[in-house]
Amino acid sequence: MKKPLILCLLAIYHLPLLAQTTEKSAVDATQQTPSSLQILYSNLGKKGHLYSADGFTVSGPNSSAGISFFTAMPFTPSLNSHVSEVRVAVQYLSGANQVNLSIYEDSGGVPGTLLAGPVTITNLPNANTCCRLTVADFTPVAVSGGVQYWVVANTPATGVGSDFEGFWQLAANISIPLALDHGTSWFPVQGFDLPSGVVLGTTP
């Protein structure tokens, strides 16, 4: 039986790290949820597992990849909430060690209107290391329960940070839509892996 075309497309856009493994890394105990916040969304796994060693490329237009690869993680809070913090498994490979994280509304299955950010994060952990998450703090932004939103990792079009290249590590064994932008516009992909992260905040 022939595999669906989307599997071929996914193989193109899913760019793994050099180290190949299906074993997930252990959670760093120093990165517990702050007592003032609660988890609004997480795909970090269960029983002490954090993320896979494979990842989606995140790169700027002036990176060694020579093209922009931006990645977005969808999340849907169960209740009306305020997002205050995002933690994602984005890691550094080359260029300026910084990346932008933002929160977007959904628009037909891809990121639409910017809600918060970008927040520029520096000193990311090196690619293929365990187990620190990249953390972005936001002025609390209101989100509605049952509505999909996006956490976006991208770079500036020019200047410092436009040469960043890294990876957004995967939450293994998840089949869900995600979105990619390769320098032209956002487009949806039916993925079998999902960028790994957690969204934190408060509920009124």
The pLDDT value given to residue 81: 95
pLDDT of residue 124: 95
85 φ, ψ (degrees, to nearest 5): -150, 145
Instruction: Kindly state whether residue 23 falls inside one of the protein's structural domains.
Output: no
Containing structural domain, residue 99:
5-18+38-202
Instruction: Return per-residue pLDDT of the chain as tens, 204 residues.
Output: 333 322 222 322 333 332 333 333 333 434 566 668 899 998 876 555 567 667 889 999 999 988 899 999 999 999 999 999 999 999 999 999 999 999 999 999 999 999 999 999 999 999 888 778 899 999 999 999 999 999 999 999 999 999 999 999 887 555 566 678 888 888 877 555 567 778 888 887
**Does residue 165 lie in a domain region?**
yes
Other Cβ atoms within 10 Å of 146 Cβ, number: 9
Residue at 28 is within a domain = no
Q: Please tell me the distance from the alpha carbon of residue 202 to that of residue 198, in angstroms, as a whole number.
A: 13
Distance of alpha carbon 125 from alpha carbon 190, whole angstroms: 28
| 53 found inside a domain | yes
pLDDT at 14: 38
Q: Who contacts 189 (Cβ-Cβ below 8 Å, separation ≥6)?
A: 6, 9, 10, 13, 177, 178, 179, 180
Residue 174 forms part of a structural domain = yes
Q: Note whether residue 151 is domain-resident.
A: yes
In a domain, 30, yes or no: no
Tokens representing residue 39 in the block: 């988890």
Rounded Cα distance between 157 and 162, Å, is 6
Considering the domain boundaries, does residue 24 fall inside one? no
pTM: 0.73
Is the peptide bond between 131 and the residue preceding it cis, with omega within 30 degrees of 0? yes
Asked if residue 127 lies in contact with residue 54, where contact means CB atoms within 8 angstroms, the answer is no
The terminus-to-terminus CA distance of the chain in angstroms comes to 51
Tell me the residue type at 71: T
For 82, residues 6+ apart whose C-beta sits below 8 A from its C-beta are 140, 141, 142, 143, 201, 202, 203, 204
Q: What's the total number of domains in the chain?
A: 1
Q: Which CATH number belongs to the domain containing residue 89 in this structure?
A: 2.60.120
CA distance 203 to 185: 33
Instruction: Write down the pLDDT at residue 23.
Output: 34
In this structure, the strands spanning 186-191 and 194-195 are unpaired
Structure tokens at 60: 């700027």
